[in-house]
Amino acid sequence: MSNLLRVTNLRAKNPAGEWISPQISFDLQAGEVLFFRGENGAGKSTLLKTILGLHKKFTGEFQFALRPEEIQYLPQLGNLHFHLPLTLQDMLKNTGTGSPLLQGLDLQKKWNTASGGERQKILLASVLEKNPRLLILDEPFNHVDKESVEVIEDALGTFLKSHPQSSMILVSHRAFVQDWAHVRFLEIR
């Protein structure tokens, strides 16, 4: 296995210089799933954003052994009320419906009328079709019903099995139903 990401003594700060996350260190190997767990407000999402270069105030360091185009990030689906004058199909690069995430979806449905589960499936399908080496998902099961959770989890498991050199960092409050290989947990407190 090869090392895709090394994080050493990383700790995020707010603009005032106050700590907003604990200090973490880890190595992520090809084929691994790293599951960030912890209470709301513990800094999980901020640490993801820091690693991605989206949050600039921090101490410590991180180093990728990947090109930026090999990394895909799906942030939390927060505001469900934003307006996009697009269809679900418009959100996809390819027009094919081969992904199990797209099965049963009306791709001509307007984004604005789609449910949280439909939106999340489309966003995840658009990320997976890029075949990332590193997939970073922040709360991918929020705003989705039980059936959608199962479809999303199955699709992620299928992706990992068919791309054994790909890895994933995941923030979620739910336990997995599937038994994915090479899962490690990192408690964020």
Q: What is the pLDDT of residues 160-173, one digit of tens each?
A: 999 999 999 999 87
Whether residue 77 has pLDDT greater than 90: no
Mean pLDDT of 40-58: 95
Report pLDDT for 44.
94
Token digits of residue 37: 């767990």
Q: What does the pLDDT look like over 15-35, one tens digit per residue? A: 999 999 999 999 999 999 999
Report pLDDT for 97.
60
Distance CA 54, CA 64 (A): 15
Report pLDDT for 160.
93
Report pLDDT for 78.
66
Whether residue 142 has pLDDT greater than 90: no
Whether residue 96 has pLDDT greater than 70: no
All structural domains of the chain, each given as residue ranges with its CATH number in brackets, are 3-85+132-187 (3.40.50.300)
Model confidence band, residue 99 (pLDDT cutoffs 50, 70, 90): confident
Q: Which one has a higher pLDDT value, 30 or 40?
A: 30
